Amino acid sequence: MKKSFFILTLGILFISCNNEILPPEAYGILPSERQLKWHELEYYGFIHFTINTFTDKEWGYGDEVPDLFNPSDFDADKLVSILKESGMKAVILTCKHHDGFCLWPSNTTEHTIRKSPWHNGKGDLVREMADACKKHDLKFGVYLSPWDRNNAAYGTPAYIDIYRNQLRELLSNYGEIFEVWFDGANGGDGYYGGARETRKIDRTTYYDWPNTWQTVRELQPGAVIFSDIGPDLRWVGNEKGYALDPCWATYTPQSLDSSGLVAPGYVQDKLGQNGTRNGEYWMPAECDVSIRPGWFWHESQNGKVKTPEQLFDLYIRNVGLGGNFLLNVPPNRHGHIHETDEASLRAFGRILQNMYTKNLAEGAKISAPSRGKAYKPENLLDNDPATYWATVDKSTQAELIMELPQTTEFNVVSIREYILLGQRIDKFTVEVDINGEWQLYGKGESIGARRLIYGETVSTARIRIKLEAPVCIALSEFGLYEASI
Ligand code: FUL
Ligand code: CA
């Protein structure tokens, strides 16, 4: 009797200890493996370069002769090294824009680089970019415009086969692709093999998107798919490069009419700026913008390049709201990044690099309730997004106080959620101790993959964070930084 009581007690003890160290249960919709990898990229480049660069246009009509494409001095290696040295982790190339000109020698059409004088028609710009990215250890992605103003078959079912074959070529012959970018601009007037007319398509049915995306899944299972409605990444809903606060990683796209149908180019796109709290899909925001007013290079815009300060401001409003920053840098007719763009990019890269060099919270003493040893608050300071601090299940509100080793100056606070367990937090405040009084430094609702609070430079030795969620708390990283702008 006595012995079995002992065993029973031990058993209960074991179960309760074990319970304590079980990870928190996941909350809501979770990111996929490929989305998790994408979240770690944060900042990468977009290259818009094609016949438009030579005609000074943003949208080519589709009747431009391939002869026009002849960059005098294109050097993918040099281009990619500039992007890499400026802190980018990947590059997406417009392999075909709306005018239909293919930057690779596609077998699906005559309207390709093969017909251009560049490298005597033997060139393949997609190959050069893919190889350079590989060499410099940047991920490579492709943009293939669904709208094709050159193709005679555009608007008929035959074009869908052509389009999918183009996709197949790009996804089969150029190594690993990290992202496939589908834009929503679709249908209208164009050359269409000489017809020169307006062609309208039904955006919700024409491309049969689920099946088109399936091609991506088959050929590049690791690639994330971007469009106005995902399925992996959503357009943020503006081309200005910022999200709105709060910005949720989850999203439920809304139709433009009572049919409930959504498609790229057929969605209430402004809703992408905030996303949807507890939305139906994990579909984080990618925020695209050009370093210049246009997506393509125009001589007249050489004086209108965004400054490093403007780029940093955008970074706070995209990466700092849990999205990713897709910054377009269009090469000129030589194939070069213009010197003003390059200088701005590099200076912005240095701001980020200097800022992240040292986490000023390192070595802080943290008082916070915790779920157990594996979830200790110190996991916030180990520079490892795979370890996290968590509270016990019933602690859905928590307060954490950080004592820094000394009084420290900073102007950026970074908080990251352990998103493997979903987007949990729906309210937070950050306060700093100024002469013994708590003063608000920042507050908000969403955190997600990263939240950056950029404010006045303060000097303090104590920080207090308060968090609220419908479930227990799980944060992976915390940082204090000084950005010199
Ligand atoms: C849009 C296009 O219409 C623009 O020309 C540009 O390529 C932008 C990134 O996507 O849909
Ligand atoms: Ca960690």
Q: Domains along the chain?
A: 33-355 (3.20.20.80), 359-481 (2.60.120.260)
Residue in 440, 417, 444 with CA at minimum distance from that of residue 430: 440
Q: Give residue 143 CA to ligand 1 midpoint distance, Å.
A: 10
Q: Is the dihedral of CA 142, 418, 319, 350 positive or negative?
A: negative
Q: Which pLDDT value is given to residue 84?
A: 98
**CA angle, corner 292, sides to 286 and 298, nearest 5?**
130
| 250 secondary structure, DSSP code | E
| 421 secondary structure, DSSP code | G
Q: Give residue 297 CA to ligand 1 midpoint distance, Å.
A: 13
Q: Give residue 383 CA to ligand 2 midpoint distance, Å.
A: 5
330, burial (CB in 10 Å: exposed 0-12, middle 13-18, buried 19+):
buried
Residue 143 Cα: closest atom of ligand 1: 7
Give me the amino acid identity at 249: A
Q: Give residue 183 CA to ligand 1 midpoint distance, Å.
A: 7
Closest ligand to the CA of 380: 2
Cα 234 to Cα 264: distance, rounded to the nearest angstrom: 10
Cα 103 to Cα 117: distance, rounded to the nearest angstrom: 13
Residue in 322, 280, 325 with CA at minimum distance from that of residue 425: 322
Which residue, judged by its Cα, is nearest atom 4 of ligand 1?
295
Q: Which pLDDT value is given to residue 15?
A: 44
C-beta of 426 in contact with ligand 1 (< 6 A): no
Instruction: Output phi, psi for 399, to 5 deg.
Output: -125, 135
Residue 48 Cα: closest atom of ligand 1: 7
What pLDDT tens digit does each residue of the chain (485 aa) get? 455 545 444 444 444 444 558 999 999 999 999 999 999 999 999 999 999 999 999 999 999 999 999 999 999 999 999 999 999 999 999 999 999 999 999 999 999 999 999 999 999 999 999 999 999 999 999 999 999 999 999 999 999 999 999 999 999 999 999 999 999 988 899 999 999 999 999 999 999 999 999 999 999 999 999 999 999 999 999 999 999 999 999 999 999 999 999 999 999 999 999 999 999 999 999 999 999 999 999 999 999 999 999 999 999 999 999 999 999 999 999 999 999 999 999 999 999 999 999 999 999 999 999 999 999 999 999 999 999 999 999 999 999 999 999 999 999 999 999 999 999 999 999 999 999 999 999 999 999 999 999 999 999 999 999 999 999 999 999 999 999 99
C-beta of 341 in contact with ligand 1 (< 6 A): no
Query: What Rg, from alpha-carbon coordinates, does the chain have?
Result: 25
Residue with tokens 């007037």: 189
C-beta of 15 in contact with ligand 1 (< 6 A): no
Mutate to test the pocket of ligand 1, among 51, 183, 233 (most ligand atoms within 8 A of CB): 183
Total length of the chain: 485
Closest ligand to the CA of 327: 1
Q: Which pLDDT value is given to residue 187?
A: 80
Q: Is the dihedral of CA 223, 171, 164, 63 positive or negative?
A: positive
Cα 345 to Cα 4: distance, rounded to the nearest angstrom: 71
Q: Which pLDDT value is given to residue 186?
A: 84
- pTM score of the predicted model: 0.95
Q: Give residue 368 CA to ligand 2 midpoint distance, Å.
A: 15
C-beta of 388 in contact with ligand 1 (< 6 A): no
C-beta of 286 in contact with ligand 1 (< 6 A): no
C-beta of 295 in contact with ligand 1 (< 6 A): yes
Q: Which pLDDT value is given to residue 4?
A: 52
| 196 secondary structure, DSSP code | -
Pairing of strands 224-227, 233-235: parallel
Mutate to test the pocket of ligand 1, among 99, 103, 234, 239 (most ligand atoms within 8 A of CB): 239
C-beta of 188 in contact with ligand 1 (< 6 A): no
